[in-house]
A and B are shown apart, each in its own frame.
Chain A
Amino acid sequence: MQIYLPIAEMPVSVLLILGMGAAVGFISGLFGIGGGFLMTPLLIFLGIPPAVAVATQSAQIVASSTTSSLNALRRKALDFKLGTILVAGGFIGSVLGVWFFAAARRAGQLDLVIVISYVTLFTVVGSLMLKESLREFWTKRKGGSVRLRRQAGEHAPYLGLPFRVRFYRSKLYASVIPILGLALFVGFAGALLGIGGGFIMVPALLYIFRVPTSVVVGTSQFQIVCTTLVALILHAVANQAVDIVLAILLIVGGVFGAQFGARAGRYLRAELFRFLLALLLLAVGLRFAMELVVHPDEPFSITVQESRT
């Protein structure tokens, strides 16, 4: 069954889009990430204009992250205090990211900046997580206990900087400076790459701040709802690239997928969870690296220039 998309100005298969929404929603609910870095390439592959793909999938992220946040809220796995600080830092980072985006475009190397950032971020974060989770598996097999919670007197120096705040739900007592710094970086990368940045936020909260896995997912989803909402409205106003029909199809598929993802996530052991997320990130990073290194079948590409600059 085909339906015509009024903003993308092309027909798509309803079932295909519903299925894609469900698949990405499942991964999003499972790992507490937005899933934008998976959905955008899929939509572009279907022939949807890149601007419409980036703008519209943010609506789906808002929907699936709302569901996940509400779920986390009910299970008391959402740290509002931490979330609010992350949102605040994220906004400042986004503004800087948008500015850098414009500067790179003026220099004419935006494509390159984006692909290289993707490759570096995904492979670095992915391999760090993979290393960590393999070590966990190893320690467990040797009979040792996995040491993920902080122990008394074992604080990294950056947590002891001034302005320390106690986050009860995250079992964290730390300075807001490194937390704001993380949020700033995630907001910056998110605005530059058109992603929510959950895949940086989740491992950072897990490994740098040692926040419990269940709280990480809920809090990260809360932060994603806030930043993506702003992005969605900005895209609608500045680019008029949000396709409401495509958004609804993705949302309907996505909310179902996210439900099952979140449920599956509860039965997943913490170290397996981190191992799978590491594999996913590495796979995406390698895919982008391939694009950069492998001889292209078609070296030419066409882009439609919207404004004549």
Chain B
Amino acid sequence: MRALVLLLSLCWASLVPASAETLITSLSNHRVLITSNYTGTSIAVFGAIERDAQTISRATGYDAVVTVRGPTQYLVVREKEQIGPVWINQEQQKFPLAPSYLGVLMSAPIDEITSPQLRQRQKIGLRAIIDAPDFTNVRDGADQPFRDALYRLKEQEGLYHEDERGVTFLTPSIFRASIPLPATAPPGNYDVEVTLLADTVILARTITHFELVKTGFEQQVGEVARDWSVLYGLTTALLAIFFGWGANVIFRRD
């Protein structure tokens, strides 16, 4: 019985850190508005580490990892292969719940702040998230080139990125990070997960959200196109005919 209690308390200890640091995070903006001149933005994350009287002192200082996940998409990655003289799409790998945007900001290179096992288990860092077994179906290593391709192509678009110096500690217990959002990041809900570590152990984790929304004209156009699609199509068609007729009148030379 005593052993069981000890075991349970050990499990409990590994789940909830006994060190009693509390992490408080805040975003500069919880609602980013897309207007007609929107060309991307950046959102600041602030974090403060609160220690109480029982907190043991840390010799190594704190590390923080900020992970931002955009709305999920059903992505299919295809590979072209040569068949005879032509290159055609052959194999494909499906990523049913891939985030459209994925940003990881860290206070130090990932090898210095976590162990490989912890990284894999807790999905810390872009590589660990993309290589996670539940990210796509595992096919005995055949899935790895597709995972790599997803990373590479999304990174080229600026939608997946990792910055190992993206989190700055202003004081030993207050940090700040700036999440860059490219203009191509789609509207929707974004999750911001902040993980606090010390000496390769996770101390605390918080999750906050922000949303990227179209406003005013952009929002109305989106709604009309979705809810009144026949009207929208007819309007566009009439507009096109009107412009065509207008040009004919303006340029008429008799």
A295 to chain B, nearest CB (A): 7
Residues 207-234 of A at the B interface (beta carbon under 8 Å):
229, 232-234
Q: B203 on the interface (CB 8 Å rule)? A: no
C-alpha gap A112/B80 in the complex (Å): 11
Tally inter-chain residue pairs, CB-CB below 8 A: 177
Q: Which residues of B contact A67 (CB under 8 A)?
A: 244-245, 247-248, 251
The answer to whether B184 touches A47, judged by C-beta atoms less than 8 angstroms apart, is: yes
Contact indicator B233/A304 (Cβ below 8 Å):
no
Assess the B214–A242 pair: CB atoms within 8 A: no
CA distance A299 to B93 in the complex (A): 13
A112: nearest chain-B partner, CB-CB: B88
A70–B244 CB distance below 8 A: yes
Measured in the bound complex, the distance between the Cα atoms of B74 and A305 in whole Å is: 5
CB pair B236 A255 closer than 8 Å: no
Contact of B241 with A308 in the complex, beta carbons under 8 Å: no
| Binding-face segment, A32-40, A56-64, A128-136 | A56-64
Known A70-B244, A255-B244, A301-B78: A242·B37 in contact at CB below 8 Å:
no
Residues of A with C-beta under 8 A to B13: none
Interface SS of chain A: helix, strand, loop or mixed?
helix
What are the residues of chain A within 8 A of B85 when measuring CB–CB? 293
Q: Most chain-B CB neighbours within 10 Å: which of A47, A59, A67, A71?
A: A67
Q: How many residues of A contact B (CB 8 A)?
A: 56
B89 CB within 8 Å of chain A: yes
Chain B, residues 39-75, CB within 8 Å of chain A (1/0): the string is 1100000000000000000000000000000000111
User: For the complex, is A189 an interface residue (Cβ under 8 Å from B)?
Assistant: no
Which of B80, B94, B234, B248 is within 8 Å of A70, CB to CB? B248
Q: B149 interface residue, CB < 8 Å from A? A: yes
Complex: A179 Cα to B86 Cα, angstroms? 35
CA distance A306 to B74 in the complex (A): 7
Binds A, one of B19-27, B173-181, B189-197, B217-225: B217-225
Tell me if A235 is interfacial: C-beta within 8 Å of chain B: yes
Check: B137 CB closer than 8 A to any chain A CB.
Answer: no
Q: Does A163 contact B (CB under 8 A)?
A: no
Q: Measured between alpha carbons, how far is A71 from B226 in the docked complex, in Å?
A: 35
B229 at the interface (CB under 8 A from A): yes
Cα A4 to Cα B182 in complex, Å, equals: 12
Most buried by A among B73, B226, B232: B232
- What are 5 contact pairs spanning A and B, CB under 8 A? A6-B214, A63-B243, A255-B244, A300-B78, A305-B76
The 3 closest A-B pairs by CB, nearest first: A66-B244, A236-B233, A300-B149
